[in-house]
C-alpha cells in the first residue's frame, strides 16, 4: 500500500509539472538550417559580426529555459540579438 501511495503521489505531481510546462515552439520543423546558417554568415560578414548558432528542440526543457533566461535578461538579450 505504501508503494502504491508513493507512486500515485509522484504521478500526480508529474501531471501538475507537465501542465505548467511551456508549449512554445521555438524551432520550426520546416526550417532549412543550411540555408538559414548561410544567410546568417553572409549577413555577419557584411556587418563584421560573429554568428552564434543555437541548436535545440521544442522537446528540450533546457532549450526552453535558455530562451526564457535570455529574453528576461536585457544584457544577455541585447548581446545575443544585436
Residue 80: CB atoms within 10 A of its CB come to 12
Domain ranges of the chain: 23-81
Instruction: Spell out the SS3 assignment of 64-77.
Output: HHHHHHHHHCHHHH
With 0.75 as the threshold, say if the pTM is over it: no
Residue 77: CB atoms within 10 A of its CB come to 13
First to last CA, the chain: 58
Give the best-scoring range by mean pLDDT among 16-20, 44-48, 72-76, 77-81: 44-48
Distance CA 63, CA 79 (A): 18
Tens of pLDDT, residues 13-34: 655 444 455 566 888 889 899 9
User: What one-character DSSP code corresponds to residue 82?
Assistant: -
Amino acid at each position: 500500500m505504501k508503494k502504491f501511495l508513493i507512486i500515485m503521489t509522484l504521478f500526480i505531481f508529474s501531471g501538475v509539472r507537465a501542465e505548467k510546462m511551456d508549449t512554445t515552439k521555438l524551432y520550426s520543423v520546416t526550417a532549412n538550417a543550411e540555408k538559414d546558417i548561410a544567410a546568417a554568415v553572409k549577413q555577419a560578414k557584411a556587418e563584421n559580426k560573429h554568428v552564434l548558432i543555437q541548436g535545440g528542440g521544442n522537446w528540450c526543457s533546457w532549450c526552453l529555459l535558455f530562451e526564457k533566461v535570455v529574453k528576461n535578461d536585457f544584457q544577455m538579450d541585447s548581446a545575443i540579438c544585436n
